[in-house]
Structure 1
Amino acid sequence: NMRQLLDKLPDNRWYCGDCVSGDMPYEGQIVWAKQGSSRYWPAMIGFSDKLPPSLQKADHKPYEVPLMWFGETPPLWSWLSNVVIGRHHNTGYRDDKKDLKFARAVKLAEEALAQMEANPLQSTLLSGGGPSPYTKISNNVYRIARPRDTEHVSICNCSPTRTSGCATDDCINRATCVECDPKTCPAKQYCENLRFQLRKYAGMELFDAGPRGWGVRATENIEAGTFLMEYVGEVIDREECANRTAQARKQGKTEWYTLAVSDEIFIDSRNKGNITRFINHSCEPNAEVQRWSVRGEPRVGVFAKVSIPVGQEITYAYNFTCMSAPDEVISMSKCYCGSRLCSGNLGRRSSSVPRRTPSPPLDGVRRKRRADSKAEPK
Structure 2
Amino acid sequence: MAAAEAEARGAWCVPCLVSLDTLQELCRKEKLTCKSIGITKRNLNNYEVEYLCDYKVVKDMKYYLVKWKGWPDSTNTWEPLQNLKCPLLLQQFSNDRHNYLSQVKKGKAIIPKDNNKALKPAVAEYIVKKAKQRIALQRWQDELNRRKNHKGMIFVENTVDLEGPPSDFYYINEYKPAPGISLVNEATFGCSCTDCYFEKCCPAEAGVLLAYNKNQQIRIPPGTPIYECNSRCRCGPDCPNRIVQKGTQYSLCIFRTSNGCGWGVKTLMKIKKMSFVMEYVGEVITSEEAERRGQLYDNKGITYLFDLDYESDEFTVDAARYGNVSHFVNHSCDPNLQVFNVFIDNLDTRLPRIALFSTRTINAGEELTFDYQMKGSGDVSSDSIDHSPAKKRIRTVCKCGAVTCRGYLN
**TM-score computed with the length of structure 2 as normaliser:** 0.49
Distance 2:304 2:183 in 1: 21
SS at match of 1:334: coil
SS at match of 1:42: helix
Whether the 8 Å contact between 1:167 and 1:191 is mirrored in structure 2 is: no
Given the alignment, which residue of 135, 145, 154 partners 2:170? 135
Task: Report Cα offsets for 1:20-49 as digits up to 9, x if no partner.
Answer: xxxxxxxxx99xxxxxxx985432498776
Q: 1:233 to 1:151 in 2, by over 3 A?
A: closer
SS at match of 1:192: coil
Counterparts of residues 265-344 of structure 1 (less than 5 Å): 265-297=315-347, 298-319=352-373, 330-344=393-407
Deviation at 1:329, TM superposition (A): 5.0
Task: Report Cα offsets for 1:220-260 as digits up to 9, x if no partner.
Answer: 000112211111111101011112223445xx523231111
Distance 2:342 2:196 in 1: 23
How many corresponding residue pairs? 241
Distance 1:289 1:228 in 2: 10
Deviation at 1:310, TM superposition (A): 0.1
Structure 1 gaps, min length 5: 1-28, 31-37, 52-66, 72-118, 321-326, 348-378
Q: CA RMSD in A?
A: 4.3
Deviation at 1:331, TM superposition (A): 3.0
SS at match of 1:191: coil
Q: Which residue of 2 aligns with 1:86?
A: none
Distance 2:291 2:343 in 1: 25
Moved over 6 A (4+): 45-48
Counterparts of residues 71-90 of structure 1 (less than 5 Å): none
Q: 1:202 to 1:345 in 2, by over 3 A?
A: same
Whether the 8 Å contact between 2:228 and 2:241 is mirrored in structure 1 is: yes
Whether the 8 Å contact between 1:235 and 1:267 is mirrored in structure 2 is: yes
SS at match of 1:190: coil
Q: Which residue of 2 aligns with 1:245?
A: 294
Percentage of matched positions with identical amino acids: 25
Q: Which residue of 1 aligns with 2:253?
A: 205
Kindly provide the amino acid, as one letter, of the partner of residue 168 in structure 1.
Y
Deviation at 1:287, TM superposition (A): 0.6
Counterparts of residues 7-86 of structure 1 (less than 5 Å): 41-44=35-38, 50=52, 68-69=69-70
Deviation at 1:207, TM superposition (A): 1.1
Kindly provide the amino acid, as one letter, of the partner of residue 199 in structure 1.
G
Deviation at 1:200, TM superposition (A): 3.8
Q: 1:47 to 1:293 in 2, by over 3 A?
A: farther
Distance 1:274 1:215 in 2: 13
Whether the 8 Å contact between 1:156 and 1:185 is mirrored in structure 2 is: yes
Tell which has more relative contact order, 1 or 2 (C-alpha 8 A, sep 6+). 1
SS at match of 1:311: coil
Kindly provide the amino acid, as one letter, of the partner of residue 340 in structure 1.
V
Task: Report Cα offsets for 1:248-283 as digits up to 9, x if no partner.
Answer: 45xx52323111122221111111111111111111
Distance 1:135 1:149 in 2: 22
Q: Which residue of 1 aligns with 2:301?
A: 254
Deviation at 1:169, TM superposition (A): 3.9
SS at match of 1:319: coil
Deviation at 1:146, TM superposition (A): 2.5
For the pair 1:191 / 2:254, whether they are aligned, the reply is no
Distance 2:213 2:283 in 1: 31
Given the alignment, which residue of 231, 236, 247 partners 2:280? 231
Distance 2:131 2:286 in 1: 37
Q: Which residue of 1 aligns with 2:109?
A: none
Q: 1:284 to 1:201 in 2, by over 3 A?
A: same
Kindly provide the amino acid, as one letter, of the partner of residue 284 in structure 1.
D
Q: 1:248 to 1:286 in 2, by over 3 A?
A: closer
